[in-house]
Amino acid sequence: MRLFIPILLLLVSVGTFAFYINPTYQEVQSLRAEKAEYDAALNNSKILQSIRGSLSDKYKSIDPNNIAKLSKLLPDNVDNIKLILEIQRIASTYGMTLQNVKFDTEQKPTQTANQAGFVTSGAAQSGPKKDFGTFDLEFSTQGSYANFVSFLSDLERSLRIVDVKSISFTSQNAQAGSDTYKYDFKITTYWFRG
């Protein structure tokens, strides 16, 4: 009987450890790890809030006129009508009007041949996605060469980024020695995808 009580106590303590203490200890350990993750997330959130506040203060300190100029330089959408109206405004100062305006609002995937010679679509290609989109525009106008040079100069100084891809011109009335020419433009402009 003397050995029975110590053996019983030993079995009870082993059973208590196996069925209560160890599972509870494991649960406490997992809760501590979860708490550490939440603490790290909370610290990251505080850091991000601090950075956001700092950036917000910097943004508020920028002159609203400069923000408007930046949005005109690289707008956050294509806004093709506003672009056409801006180009028409520049052209009209020299007595020129836009004609035969053409643009494609759909983005067509580019096709390229890979090393094996198979044609692949640009939509299926992997690679870094650009932060900006492009918009191609074609138009014609008429005027003297001096007005054309002035128009092109003003278009160059415009806040909106415009790349002139090609210009072709033809004389409107070659027999009479006229100084009026027809100019065909192909331009590309850019917009921020944000």
Q: Is residue 38 part of a domain?
A: yes
Would you place residue 184 in the very low, low, confident or very high pLDDT band (cuts 50, 70, 90)?
Answer: very high
Cα–Cα distance measured from residue 91 to residue 97, given in angstroms and rounded to the nearest whole number: 6
Which one-letter DSSP state was computed for residue 20?
Answer: I
Residues 138, 52, single domain; the answer is no
Shared-domain flag, residues 7 and 57? yes
In this structure, are 2 and 79 located in the same domain?
no
What number of CA atoms fall less than 13 Å from residue 6's CA on the CB side?
2
Residues 42, 91 share a domain: no
With the CA atoms of 95, 100, 106 and 111 taken in that order, what torsion angle do they form, in degrees rounded to the nearest 10?
-110
Does residue 98 sit in the same domain as residue 43?
Answer: no
CATH of the domain at 117: 3.30.70.60
- Render pLDDT for 96-141 as a digit per residue (tens, 0 to 9): 998 998 887 555 444 444 444 444 444 444 556 777 788 888 999 9
pLDDT given at position 174? 56
Please determine, for residue 171, whether its predicted confidence score (pLDDT) is greater than 70.
Answer: yes
HEC letters along 29-80: HHHHHHHHHHHHHHHHHHHHHHHHHHHHHHHHHCCHHHHHHHHHHCCCCCCH
pLDDT at residue 138 in the model = 92
Specify the number of domains making up the chain: 2
- Averaged confidence pLDDT in the chain: 81
Range of the domain at 30: 1-61
Q: What confidence tens digit (pLDDT) does each residue in 37-84 have? A: 999 999 999 999 999 999 999 988 988 888 888 777 777 777 778 888
Q: What is the pTM of this model?
A: 0.55
Of 11-20, 102-111, 135-144, 184-193, the one with minimum mean pLDDT is 102-111
**Contact (CB, 8 A) for 80 and 137:** yes
158 and 79 in a common domain: yes
